Structures are given as C-alpha cells and as structure tokens.
Amino acid sequence: MATSLLLLVRLTFLLVFFTTCFAAIASASTTTVTLKRQPGFIYARTRGRCTPQFWSSKRKAWPKMVPQHSTVSNMFGSIASERYRSDMTMLESTAMSEDGSVYGRLLKQASTALINSYARKGFPYSAWEVKTLMIQGLVSEDAAARLTKRFSTANDACN
C-alpha cells in the first residue's frame, strides 16, 4: 500500500511538473508569434507629423497657402524652375526618392519645411525664410547639403 501511495504521489508530481513546463513553452511560442505579427514598416508609425512622408501620404489637408498641385517654381520662384522641372508639383517634391542628387534632397526637405511653416505653429522657420534659404541652397552642392540637413532636422523635430 505504501508503495502504491508513493507511486501515486510521484506520478502526480511528474504530471504537475510537465504541465507547467508545457504551459511555459506554449506561452513562449505564443509570444514569439505575436512578435512576428508586428507591422513591417514601423518607421511610418514612429515618424512625426511634419516629415515628407507624412505630407506626401495625403493623410491631412495641406495649408491653403501651399496647394498640393502648385508648381515648385510658383512656390520658390523662377530660379527653382532652372534646377527642377517647371511642371513639378509640390506633392511630387515631397514624394521624391532620397536616392537623387543633393538638390533633389534639398527640394524634398525645403518643400516640407514650407508646408510646415504654414501648417505648424512654432515651426522654427517662417515661409519667407524657407523660400530665401532654398534659393541660397541652390548656389552650390555644399550649400544644398548643409541646408538639407537643417531643414531635415527641423522637419523631424516638429510635431
């Protein structure tokens, strides 16, 4: 009798032990599956409301002073039409690829900064500053690179 009772206690212990082990393994695999289901384009969710990606996505109406279909030359002046296509719209400029020239990156960030200057209170640049700096940035590749970095920093920091 004592032997069968001891055997029953051991079997109960083993059953409880294996049940808890399998429960821990099952919950760990569930966690792993949950982590695998997260979205692949996390950067789009963590970026601010002032980036070129935000404005080119058309999630929010643009300010009336910067219509989406206005041309870059209308917004930045005739000097911009010498560097960029004369029929390029502001929407196209915010959606440009980052792989282009330094002047293309400048246009993308400057266009975004211009939109932010009208749409966001407290943006560090006014509209006329953005337009003036953009013209100054078209003078050389070094100036364009420096200005692109300044606009990019302001656009990324804005909310």
The continuous run of DSSP H or E covering 95 comes out as none
Q: Which residues contact 125 (CB under 8 A, 6 or more apart)?
A: 113, 116, 117, 133, 151, 154
DSSP label of 101: -
Instruction: Please state, in angstroms and rounded to a whole number, the distance separating the CA atoms of residues 105 and 30.
Output: 43
Q: What is the pLDDT of residue 48?
A: 72
* Cα dihedral sign, 73-89-122-143: negative
How high is the pLDDT of residue 81?
84
Strand partners, 71: 89
Residue 13 has pLDDT above 90, yes or no: no
**Could you read off the pLDDT of 76-127 as tens digits, one per residue?**
998 888 889 889 999 999 998 877 789 999 999 999 999 999 999 999 999 9
Judged by average pLDDT, the poorest of 14-18, 35-39, 142-146 is 35-39
Mean pLDDT across the chain, nearest whole number? Answer: 80
Tokens at 68, concatenated: 């989406």
| DSSP H or E run through 109 | helix 102-119
The per-residue pLDDT for 38 is 46
Q: Count of CB atoms within 10 A of residue 81's CB?
A: 16
> Which pair of tokens denotes residue 47?
């970026």
Q: Is the pTM of this model over 0.75?
A: no
